[in-house]
A and B are shown apart, each in its own frame.
Chain A
Amino acid sequence: MTEKTITIKVKRQDKPKSPSYWQTFEVPDKPFANVISCLMEVQKTPTTRDGKTVSPVTWDCNCLEEVCGSCTMLINGRVQQACTALVDNLEKPIVLEPMSKFPVIRDLQVDRERMFDNLKKVKAWIEIDGSHDIGEGPIMPDQDRAKRYVMSECMTCGCCLEACPQFTIDNSFLGASTFNQVRLFNLHPSGEMGKEDRLNAIMGEGGITDCGNAQVCVEVCPKNIPLTESIADISRQTTWQMIKNLLTK
């Protein structure tokens, strides 16, 4: 009896500047398989369908339960995490490509440093006085907490940016995930004290006004973060901040 197999086509690239090429692998079809377990099979038998032994495919992953954000890639053209991409739900052959809006490191690995740099640009943190014992945090209604919680589930995976027509590999657009962080921290009673800094950081080139309102970010977000709501809210806040800046200058 021949074992049932799945065909996966992987877009590979050896180095950041080298040309990409395709390779096809056959892996055993096992129950509950996901794209990660298929890639793990390739590690165990790194042989292409034409019988050529090659170096194993490289990719980023860690938690394998869609909470770390590492294993984002294009699967059959759609950006998503490889761990929650169950083989049974995917059209075959499965086509895997690295995200296109970030520089490729190797194979399916990309460099998302830009996302983390943007967190610094908008000061996505609360300026606490120190980590010593100075008592309780602010009292907050649970509804506000719930609103913040949904936003704070962003795992910097990059899906929203990959899908965004405005965000390109070489422009400076901050993108939905960053705007969402601005809203998250502006909504916190202590975080609000840094609101002006954050809003000023997202004015100008690459800022909130560059958003073309395509609304695809919210469709691809694996955590169902209301990104368009965040963008709208942050737009409003920025407009008020601009008026305030004009009046106080």
Chain B
Amino acid sequence: MKNRKKKIVIVGGGLAGLALAMKFCERNGEVTVVSYQSLKRSHSVCAQGGINAAIDAKNEGDTPEKHFYDTIKGGDFLAHQPLVRDMCYQGPTIIHLMDRMGVAFNRTGEGHLDFRRFGGTLYNRTAFAGATTGQQLVYALDEQVRRHVHDGSAKTLEWHEYLGAVLDSEGICRGAVIHDLRTDEIYTLKADAVVLATGGPGQVYGRSTNSVVNTGAAATTAYMQGAKFANGEFIQIHPTAIPGQDKLRLMSESARGEGGRIWVPRDANDNRNPREIPENERYYFLEEKYPLFKNLVPRDVACREIYDIVYNQNLGISGDPMVYLDLTHKSKEFLDNRLGGILDIYTKFTGVDPRVTPMKIFPAVHYSMGGLWTDYGPDSHGLIDHGSPKNQMTSIQGLYAAGEVDYQYHGANRLGANSLLSCIYTGLMMARGVMNYVDSLEKSVDDIPSTIFDDARSHWESRFNDIKNMNGSENPHKLHHELGDIMLANVLIVRDNKSLEKASHAIEDIETRFKDVKCLDTTDWANPSPSFINQLYCMIHLSKIIAKGALMRDEFRGSHYKPDFDLHQPKDFDPHEYIDYLEQKQYGEVTEEKFPSGHLDYMKRFQENNEKWLKTTVAQYKNNQPEITYEEVNTSLVTPRPRKYD
């Protein structure tokens, strides 16, 4: 197998897909990038605030090791540690690479990279290009891939949809089934490996900060073909979004990183213009409750506090579910330079200028920490062996996943500005492993009988024919809207088992009604209707994974908040006590009087809970349902301990 050009198919033209395409071309591989739309329009462009790397440009003593710890703690210890550590150590190299490609990163007086603060850390660790960092990074990678297309080493198939993997008789992935979204033709691509870089599943919730293409359909299809899906219940809700009809637009965490303050009037009936409300009548609840991290607590923490203010304390602005995000104390010049893009977007959609009037925001579904289960090959230094063919491979041999669609890097809650890093990191890191995988194959894709490909194609052709023949009474778009409403009402920030059970039944009801869907358009040119129905089918199954995972996980971890299982950390608790406790326990010296009252009980509860629940949720498709099991998490480098941010 060594003397043949290695041929891979990458599905998705966002950061992860493009990073891998570039790297694979450099290594003389042959790449086909399949994208639902033109490259340059992927959801990665929506990332705003920046990308993390511990370069320590401000002489604060930041290091990749601290970045690693912040990320692990931010994710409530649910992420495999060697991977996260490797990613954080690669961070500086990745930023310098992107800088060399011409990304217009903001710079210091001396012309070096500038950094700002983000949530969940006390360091200035986030490099940024205005407030459209994701867009700038995508463009830079897109330009490099375009260069390889120009040179003939890469090929793009835009306006093509991935339908499923082609599996041979041994269950090894040998290619992909592709749907041309214009001619309606369905065909197969042969490949030594297929990589899904298809992003997140925000559309399962109907309205979110995600783009229209983020249905999670590709990942769900992989799951239905036998791939494991991990940690589905961990959905990140972003604390600050702009309410809207068609979508909830993101208001970047960088607004707070640059000094933005969150508040509500202390008096619920105070309907004055926010600018007329004096300082002492404003309740800066995050600053009061978390004097150390203030407005930059991690996203899961900020969401719960905003939720509490609005629904428990009834302090939302004018009784509505909204709080102020205030930047008006900053100069217009400063704001234009560092946040211009997102402030313009706010103005365009609300007609209100945030440079003058505080913004009104509320949390919205934003990111999926969970995704396709993927493997990795650790080395002996607590890092990753970049040559391991296991890196980023799903449980289907030859089918890989990278970027938001995988599950490995963010545990139970992602820190802001780590997603761009994890996407580019996975794309770059896995290239060598994929090459080695292809080398190790005993049989080449050319030795696979053509019937395998013919069967895969005809399976999907008949599937789409069946969809076109659906002539019931349900409108698929209305059904999608209802599914989203179920998920928003029951599987969001605050979760309880009664609502989750209700959600599961409601999803089943949607699944039954799905059979009565009408395909609104049966023509054969540029017709999005059958594709959407197939995506809706996938979204129904994905929502089952999320809801069931949430129902079964009886604990409170990161973004998965079940008040019934809150361990109630004592207010004066110090996480170091827990390390002392573990040590004393090891030597059989634990005594009650060594800890403040109630702390020992809490620590016992914490440890017991971790033994039971510090596990990866794994969903597998069995009898039309997700079957849930749990796997160990690699916590070999830092001891899991209670999180604290005040």
Q: Which residues of A line the B interface, CB within 8 A?
A: 14-15, 30-34, 36-37, 40, 43-46, 55-56, 58, 60-70, 83-84, 86, 105-106, 109, 112-113, 116, 119-120, 123-128, 130-131, 133-142, 145-146, 148-149, 152-153, 155-156, 185, 188, 190-191
> B345 touches which one: A46, A65, A125, A188 (CB < 8 A)?
A65
Residue B276, interface by CB 8 Å:
no
- Are B528's CB and A62's CB within 8 A? no
A140 lies within 8 A of B528 (CB): no
Chain B positions 97-134 with a Cβ under 8 Å from a chain A Cβ: 97, 99-102, 104-112, 114, 129-130, 132
Complex CA gap A143/B46 in Å reads: 25
Q: Which of B96, B110, B477 has the most CB of A within 10 A?
A: B477
Point out the residue from B46, B104, B213, B520 that lies within 8 Å of A145, measured CB to CB.
Answer: B104
Give the docked Cα–Cα distance between A148 and B37 (Å): 26
The answer to whether B23 touches A125 (Cβ under 8 A) is no
Q: Which of B239-247, B575-583, B618-626 contacts A (4 or more CB under 8 A)?
A: B239-247
Give the CA-CA distance A83 to B150 in the complex, in Å.
Answer: 32
Chain A neighbourhood of B155, CB < 8 A: none
B622 to chain A, nearest CB (A): 34
B593 at the interface (CB under 8 A from A): no
Render B469-492 as a binary contact track against A, CB cut-off 8 A, 1 for contact.
000000101100100000000000
Chain A residues positioned under 8 Å from B529 (CB to CB)? 55-56
Residues from chain A with a CB closer than 8 A to the CB of B514 are none
Query: Could you write out 24 A-B pairs with CB less than 8 Å apart?
Result: A40-B477, A43-B475, A44-B477, A55-B523, A55-B527, A55-B529, A65-B345, A66-B348, A68-B211, A70-B37, A84-B349, A106-B526, A112-B38, A120-B149, A125-B101, A127-B147, A131-B144, A133-B93, A136-B96, A139-B110, A145-B105, A149-B129, A152-B139, A155-B40
Given A65-B247, A137-B100, A142-B111, also A58-B528 (CB < 8 A): yes
Measured CB to CB, the nearest residue on chain B to A42 is B477
Partner of A62, one of B213, B244, B349, B475: B213
B164 vs chain A, min Cβ distance (A): 23
Interface status of B428 (Cβ within 8 A of chain A): yes
Of B108, B135, B428, the most chain A CB neighbours within 10 A belong to: B135
| B22 within 8 Å of A (CB atoms) | yes
Q: B102, B111, B114, B144: which contacts A139 (Cβ < 8 A)?
A: B111
Chain B residues, Cβ within 8 Å of A46:
520
Kindly state the separation between the CA atoms of A116 and B156 in the bound complex, as whole angstroms. Answer: 12
Which residues of B have CB within 8 Å of A120? Answer: 146, 149-150
User: Beyond the given A65-B46, A142-B111, A153-B130, could you list 19 further A-B residue pairs with CB under 8 A, ordered by the A residue number?
Assistant: A32-B244, A32-B349, A34-B349, A37-B246, A55-B527, A64-B212, A106-B526, A109-B526, A116-B40, A124-B146, A125-B102, A126-B100, A128-B144, A145-B106, A145-B107, A149-B130, A149-B136, A153-B132, A155-B40
Chain A nearest CB, measured from B223 CB (Å): 24
Which residues from A are CB-within-8-Å of B100?
A: 126, 128, 134, 136-138, 190
Given A34-B246, A109-B526, answer yes or no on A124-B143 (Cβ-Cβ < 8 Å).
yes
Please give the distance in Å from A188's CB to the nearest CB on chain B.
5
- Whether B458 is near chain A, meaning CB under 8 Å from some CB there, is no
**Once the chains bind, are A62 and B211 in contact (CB under 8 Å)?**
yes
- Does B378 touch A at the CB level, under 8 Å? no
B521 touches A (CB below 8 Å): yes
Report the bound CA distance from A106 to B341 in whole Å.
32
Q: Name the contact of A64 in the complex, choosing from B99, B149, B211, B526 (C-beta under 8 A).
A: B211
Which B residues lie within 8 Å of A138 (CB)? 100
Tell me the minimal C-beta distance from A47 to chain B in angstroms. 11
Contact (Cβ within 8 A) A142 B109: yes
Please, what's the 1-or-0 string for B506-523, where 1 marks a CB less than 8 Å from any CB in chain A? 000000000000001101
Please state if B96 and A137 are interface contacts (CB–CB under 8 Å).
yes
Q: Contacts of A142 on B, CB cut-off 8 Å?
A: 106-109, 111, 114
Q: Which residues of B have CB within 8 Å of A60?
A: 37
**B107 & A141 in contact (Cβ 8 Å cutoff):** yes
Note all chain A residues with C-beta closer than 8 A to B107. Answer: 140-142, 145
Cα distance A60–B181 in the bound complex, in angstroms: 12
Q: Is the CB of B182 within 8 A of A105?
A: yes
A84: contacting residue among B38, B111, B348, CB under 8 A:
B348
